[in-house]
Amino acid sequence: MEFGKLENIQGIDWKLPASDLYNSLKVSLSAPRIFVGAPAWGAKQWLGKIYPEHTPADQFLYHYSRNFNCIELNSTHYGIPATEKAQDWLDKVPSTFKFCPKFPQDISHSRFGITDKFLISAWINFLTTIQECLGTTFIQFHEKFSYEEKYFLFQFLENWPKEFRLSIEFRHPSWFHEHTILPALGDYLRRKEVGLVVTDVAGRRDVLHSSFTAPWSMIRLIGNELDPSDGLRLKLWAERLADWKESGVAETFLFLHQPEDKLTIEFAELAQDIFSAAGHTEVPKMQKIVSRDFFSMGL
């Protein structure tokens, strides 16, 4: 079963936890921005939605990047792309587009992967290739990676090059304290200016936290086939991000997931409507909007 997936979501408390009292950053001098994207761009179900009919697969990214302004880049979890492929991606996107590549599983899901200098060097070489369009890279640790493994984590962070923004997604409950990151860990990450990933998913409300530790945030919002709760959660995040902007979070990367890729565009359109209504004028607009008759969410 996928992480946090439930067959029945009735009775779930969707409220966001109260903001972490330790959240504090200097006021950003730049205008805050929200980047919205999906985990990948390869969905054929988007033909006729944001991809013109009969678009070849090698042109999907071009059209994707004219509708979204970032990508989670989940594919890098399964292997480091060749330099030629990375350059081809850069040639297809605007200069303002952001890639947020996921660490290869050989690093994140192997106990000694985060101390493997050869693997990490290869990953950094890839990041260097896309640096002009790099948002934050993120490492998603295995569910069994607990606080007992902190030595390996700290060793990894001490050697991480500061020129590449890094965000961490924890899944084991031991890293959290009352829906915030452990206070001592939060202090350490703030000193290192390492970000945190927030995963909002139905079946693991225990790891939904309210902490940020860097001038950017990354949110992975896992929807439920456009259940009315998806719209409710978007509203709650639109409100929360307005507060985080005031606290100095200059950039937020919001990634929209749906169990079926075909619904991602509708989810993104709903996000566009809700965030715009909440005053987030920087949210990208779909160039080709699907019919609004699809929605009957009572928002």
Q: Is pLDDT above 50 for 292?
A: no
Q: Is pLDDT above 50 for 141?
A: yes
Nearest to 252 by CA among 274, 283, 223: 283
Q: Is pLDDT above 50 for 13?
A: yes
Q: Is pLDDT above 60 for 208?
A: yes
Tokens for 109?
A: 């899901």
Q: How far apart are CA 121 and CA 119, in angstroms?
A: 5
Q: Which residue type sits at 282? A: E
pLDDT in tens, 64-116: 999 999 999 999 999 999 999 999 999 999 999 999 999 999 999 987 899 99
Collect all residues with Cβ–Cβ distance below 8 Å to 50 and sequence separation of at least 6.
63, 64, 66, 67, 265, 286, 287, 288
Residues above pLDDT 90, as percent of the chain: 87
What SS3 string covers the chain?
CCCCCCCCCCCCCCCCCCCCCCCCCCCCCCCCEEEEEECCCCCHHHECCCECCCCCHHHHHHHHCCCCCEECCHHHHHCCCCHHHHHHHHHHCCCCCEECCECCHHHHCCCCHHHCHHHHHHHHHHHHHCHHHECCEEEECCCCCCHHHHHHHHHHHHHCCCCCCEEEECCCHHHEECCEECHHHHHHHHHHCCEEEEEECCCCHHHCCCCCCCCEEEEEEECCCCCHHHHHHHHHHHHHHHHHHHCCCCEEEEEEECCCHHHHHHHHHHHHHHHHHCCCCCCCCCCCCCCHHHCCCCC
pTM of the model: 0.94
Interval 233-243 mean pLDDT: 97
Q: How far apart are CA 172 and CA 141, in angstroms?
A: 8
The reported pLDDT for the residue numbered 28 is 65
Q: What superfamily does domain 33-290 belong to in CATH? A: Protein of unknown function UPF0759 (3.20.20.410)
- Of 283 and 167, which is predicted with more confidence? 167
Interval 215-241 mean pLDDT: 97
Range 39-48 burial, b when 16+ CB lie within 10 A, else e: bbbebeebee
pLDDT in tens, 195-205: 999 999 999 99
Q: Which residue type sits at 4? A: G
The reported pLDDT for the residue numbered 288 is 61
Neighbour tally for 153: CB within 10 Å: 20
Nearest to 133 by CA among 253, 267, 284, 283: 253
Range 213-234 burial, b when 16+ CB lie within 10 A, else e: bbbbbbbbbbbbebeebbbbbb
Neighbour tally for 280: CB within 10 Å: 21
Kindly indicate the confidence band of residue 2, based on its pLDDT and cuts at 50, 70 and 90: confident
Tokens for 114?
A: 């985060």
Q: What is the dihedral of CA 91, 124, 24, 242, to 10 degrees?
A: 20
Kindly indicate the confidence band of residue 42, based on its pLDDT and cuts at 50, 70 and 90: very high
Average pLDDT, the chain: 93
Collect all residues with Cβ–Cβ distance below 8 Å to 269 and sequence separation of at least 6.
286, 289, 290, 292
Q: Which residues pair with 137 in a beta bridge?
A: 166
Kindly indicate the confidence band of residue 31, based on its pLDDT and cuts at 50, 70 and 90: confident
